[in-house]
Structure formats: structure tokens, C-alpha cells
Structure 1
Amino acid sequence: MDLMKLKRILSGVQPSGKLHIGNYFGAIRQHIALQNEGECFYFIADYHSMTTIQNAKTRLEHVRDVALDYLALGLDPSKALLFRQSDVPEVCELAWILGTVSNMSLMEKAHSYKDKIAKGIEASIGLFTYPVLMAADILIYRSNLVPVGQDQVQHIEITRDLAEKFHRAYGKEVFPLPEHRLDVGAKVPGVDGQKMSKSYGNTIEIFAEGNPLKKTIMGIVTDSTPVEAPKNPENDTIFTLFSLFAYETEIAELANRYRAGGLGYGDSKKMLLEKVNGYFGPFREKRKELASRPDYVEDVLRTSARKARAEAIATMEQVREASGFLKQPISV
């Protein structure tokens, strides 16, 4: 990997369940494309997952699934790093240090904390200080660019604020101030018409296939418009999902059929199923091949983590020196 690339790009994904097509079109597809634009650090946020998952076996399985998914979908380990957050423990040290220059009012303003509490997630200290750990994730690799959705922009602003607070407190600039980049991915509706989200239980999993996939797609909620009646494609979940996979000519043709009447929702669901299978079919086969090579997947994670940790250690030497500690902890 060429460490002299123009920009360092960082993003993380929580291993909180099966990745779905909303994750793919909303973020993963962009992450894969970005590996050709800069030096990419992609981490599997297993520390962050502790705010919602407290089962060790489940966490390990989800981490493995995320690694397989990213590699199957096109992440190239020769172009981008893919590693477990927990394989770089220095990030927790930096989170503590940043926490000492933060304040309660800044954390209380975090939208994500309020949203998760509203959804019934327990108000743990970890959940409250989530933005501090996220800031450490970003700053420890001296990241320049962080692709995020609109709901995560505030976290980048908090990250910049904490970096500047550290600089002011200790009189030394260690961190570049990261910029956010809004993911240009499509807004993907779930099978109930709401935004697709694991928390809503309305997802279509990327690697679902066979009868489970068919059952999910055929279960998409529709209105009661009769088969023979015209339908509005602009307000239809099936049409919106179909448009993610289809060519412009196919989208226009289906829109005309909707407006003309005579097309039932059952038929459009079958068309969507065919598109999903056609698009993700090759990725499924690649994932199965990778799943049969667990040693290779683990080697990718460990090799990436070594490179990422070397960068983190170099950053922490500056942080520790600036804040009055030995540049390196005493070795055991």
C-alpha cells in the first residue's frame, strides 16, 4: 500500500447483525469504490457493538460475517485495510484522553444518543460516550476524510471539536481535522416502506437466497390497488427497490406498466426477486468460497490490523508526549 496517497479515508461498520441491501447501497458500495481514491482504513467496530450486544459468541459471529461480506463484495486487501477495532487497543487509551478534554454538555447534544434511548436501548456510559470513542477511531489514524450518512455528520463535528480541545489544552497540534463526506448512496426503503434498518426488522439481507429471500420479497407491504387499476410507481416500495438494480430503460418500462394498469404487485415482486438474485448471485458464490477459507480471512484481518496499529502507535507517541506521559508504555 502506498502510504503517500493524497488522503486517508476512514470508515467503520458495526457488527450488530446481518448486513442488508440498505447497508450496501447506502454505504458499502461507496466504500468499495473509495479504495481506488485514497488510502482506506475500514474497521469492524466490535468495541462499539458492546453498547447493544452483550453475547460474546454473537459478537464473534457478526464480526466474521462483516469481514466475509466486505471481502465478497469487492474489498481488495491490497488496496484497503480491513481490521477489527479491538485489534488496535490504543484507540481506547486515546478515547480516555479525549474524554478528559470533553464536557458533558457536548455529549448531551449528540442526536444518536437521544435516538437510541428513544428506541429503548439502555442508557449506559458506553452509549453516552460513544462519540468520544468514534472520535478516537478517526483521529488515531490521522484520517482526512470520513464518509458518513447525514445522521453521522454531527459526530464528525464533535471529533473536530475534541481534536481542537486537545490541541488547546496541551499546546501541540497532533491531529489533522477530518472532513466528512456524505455518502451518495440511495435511500433504501424496507419491506414495510420505512427506512431499511435492522432496528425496524424490515431488511432484505444481502446474502439471503432461496426461499428465505423469496419469502421476504413476496412479503413487501403494498396497498390494496386491484391488478387492473393504474398504480403510482413513485410511491411504491417494490418499484423503488427495483430501480436500485435495473437499467434506466428497464425502470422506464416498469413505470409505464404501473401507470397503464394490469400489472399486479405479485408480478412486480417476482421481477424484483429476479433482479436481486442476478445482482448478488456472483457475490454469494464468492462469499461461500471465502467462508471455506477461514484462515485466509483471519490473515487479512490480522495483517491489516498490524498496519493500522503501527499508525495508531505512532499517533499515540505524539499524544502521550504532548500530554506528559512516556512516549511508549513500559513493556512487560
Structure 2
Amino acid sequence: MERPTVLTGIKPTGHPHLGNYIGAIKPALEMAEDNRSQGIYFIADYHALNSVQDRQEFKEYTYEIAAAWLALGLDPDKVIFYRQSDVPEILELHWILSCMTPKGLMNRAHAYKAKVEENNLEGNDQDSGVNMGLFTYPILMASDILLFNSDQVPVGKDQVQHVEIARDIAENFNRTFGEVLKLPQYVIEEETAVIPGLDGRKMSKSYGNTIPLFTEEKALKKLINKIVTDSTPPEEPKEVKGSSLFTLYKEFAAEDEIESMREKYRKGIGWGQVKKEVFEVINRELREPRRKYYEYLEDTKALDEVLKRGAQEARSIAAVQLRKVKEMIGC
């Protein structure tokens, strides 16, 4: 029986943070350990070009995401790991799909709608600050997914719509030209769908509330101590549900540690002590990956080699699928 294909990517729009790890990298690494599926992992650098238009930053962020994947245990000999811009077939499919994607579908995309609403509130032209990359972002993401016959796409809750759009685009193509594009399914971990940041909101670079994944120990401790908590006295019981600190803790702690912390919440524990223990488990689990991460960044040529080798494998798959699509449309 053919193994299902699992595809996931991360945009290099900033330094890797804990939200990236918990919400995307960790679940994807767990899937990579499952030999029952074919893992495809990529750095979505063309997607990042919408917002990162400084050449040096663009390169640095791309290398940082690559180094993060590898430092955290992704084995490029067991999965396909590549940089999006090294697979030109993606852009060719993007144009083909653009020609049969209704503009109305793009008008309903969350990112575009949010920008229009922001402009309307500020009294600007509704398309102020909107480039065509942002507007057609879902079509490029659909191309990423559909080109590799992806069965499952692990995403955060805010990305579910993009997988649904990919399905809509594929269904439209199949109705028009015949069945050639596989309809993907999104995979989401409900408990870690929204990772809290320093202020309790979703951890996001746009909110400035992130905790860098590989920050050094002292800085990590200071950031964790800044996490917003309520005024519940130490001796009073606390709820683990909705607790930013507990959410972070359970992603790095062992099962017995999690149960122990759950019991401490039930009996009563001071937030200062919780923060101390959160720091200790996160720092413990990231100490070795942190060392490897900086080693990889010292050797970007080696990173390029890993990514180019993965791109060759990715292109061998992409070329076959693109050929089928072009035959269907008469090219």
C-alpha cells in the first residue's frame, strides 16, 4: 500500500520562536518518525517575500529556519527537505492554477480580508499596502500542496482556510480538465493550535510577544519571567486550562513531570515557581539543539548542500505531476 504524503512548510519571516516549534516543527518531526508516511518539508521563502524585502534578512531567516529543522532532529536522508525557491515547478503550477481561480475566492482569504478591514478602519484605500503576492498567497500555497499529491498538511488553526482553498482550486481544475489533482486534508493539533506569547495572545512576530527558540539561557529566563499571569495567591488552586505557562510546560516536560505540575496547580503553587520550572524544562530540552543550531549557522554552505539535494528529489516528483497537469490542459 502506498504511503500517504505529509507536507508542511515554514515561512522564514523572522527568527524561529517557540510558537513555530510547538505549533509546526514538533508535530512535523513526530510525523517524520512515522515510517508509514512520506514526509516532505520545505522552507517557504517565496511566501516570505511578501513581507521580507531586505536581501540580507531574507537570506538569514531562510538559513535560520533550515538550521532549526536540522538542529531539532529532522533527518534529510529520511524525508524530502528543500527550499521553495529551488523548485521552479511550483511557480509554473501557480500560474496555471491562477488562470482558473475565481478572484472572489481570493477576496475571501483571511489575510487579504484582514488587511482590507484594517485599511477601512484607518480611512485608507482598501488595497493600500496589498501586493499581488499577498493577494494570491493562497494560490501559491495550493501549488505547494497539490504539486506533491499531498494527502495531509499539518497546519495551525489560522492556516486551515488555505488548505480548504487548495481543495477548492483542485476541485475546480478536476471538473474542468479531469481528475489529476489530489484533494488534501489538513491536520491540526487542537491543544497546541494557538501557542500563547508573553502577553497571553497568540505568539506572533506581528505582536512582538515571541520567545526566540534558541535564545541563550539568561535571556530565555528573563523572557519567561515576563509572561503575563493573574493575581491568584500562591496557596490557591489554579486552572491548567487556559494557562499560558502550563501550555508551554507540557510541550517540553516528561509525562510524570506534567502530572506533577498538574497536581501542583490543583493544590496551589506560586506563579514565580511555575515560571522557574517552565524555564528549567525548556532550557533542558533545547540546550543540545541550541548548540547544533549555531553550528549549522556557521556553515551555510553545508546547509545549501542539504537543501539543494532535497530540491533535486522534490523536483523529480514535481516534474511528473506538472507534466500530467500540462497534458490535461493541452500544453
Bin the TM-score by the shorter chain.
0.7 to 0.9
Kindly indicate whether the alpha-carbon contact (under 8 Å) linking 2:217 and 2:283 is maintained by their aligned counterparts in 1.
no
- 1:111 positional shift: 2.1
Q: What is the aligned-residue RMSD (CA, Å)? A: 2.3
Partner in structure 1 of residue 90 of structure 2: 91
Using the size of structure 1 for normalisation, the TM-score is 0.88
Residue equivalent to 1:294: 300
Contact 1:143 1:176 (8 Å CA) reproduced: yes
1:132 aligns with 2:139: yes
User: What corresponds to 2:9 in structure 1?
Assistant: 12
Deviation of 1:5 (Å): 4.4
Identity, % of aligned pairs? 44
What is the deviation of 1:135?
A: 0.8
Whole-angstrom CA distance in 2 between matches of 1:211 and 1:118: 40
Q: Equivalents in 2 of 1:290, 1:12: separation in Å?
A: 19
Sort the Cα spacing of 1:117 and 1:284 in 2 relative to 1 into closer, same or farther, 3 A: farther
CA drift of 1:117 comes to 4.9
- Check conservation: 1:144, 1:176, Cα contact below 8 A: yes
The answer for the alignment partner of 1:102 in structure 2 is: 101
2:110 aligns with: 111
Over residues 216-247 of structure 1, what are the superposed CA-to-partner deviations in whole Å (9 max), with x where a residue is unaligned? 111112233455x4252435432332233233
Displacement of 1:84 in angstroms is 0.8
Residue 277 of structure 1 pairs with residue 283 of structure 2 = yes
Q: Residue 193 of structure 1 corresponds to which residue in structure 2?
A: 200
Tell me the CA shift for residue 288 of structure 1: 2.8
Q: Report the CA distance shift for 1:259/1:324 in structure 2 as closer, same or farther (over 3 A).
A: closer
Structure 2 stretches lacking a partner, 5+ long: 120-127
Deviations 1:32-90 (A, max 9, x none): 12223311111111111111111111111000000000001111111111111111112
Q: Distance in 2 between matches of 1:290 and 1:185?
A: 31
Cα distance between partner residues in 2 of 1:260 and 1:178? 45
Residue 209 of structure 1: which of 216, 222, 226 is its match? 216
The count of corresponding residues between Structure 1 and Structure 2 is 319
Structure-2 separation of matches of 1:123 and 1:190: 27
Task: Tell me, in whole angstroms, the C-alpha distance in 1 between the residues paired with 2:110 and 2:271.
Answer: 37
Structure 1 gap ranges (5+): 326-332
The Cα offsets for residues 115-145 of structure 1, whole Å up to 9 and x where unpaired, read as 3555679322211111111111111122222
Structure 1 position 264, deviation (Å): 3.5
Which residue identity is paired with 1:29? K
Distance (Å, rounded) in 2 between the aligned partners of 1:313 and 1:173: 18
Counterpart check, 1:218 vs 2:228: no
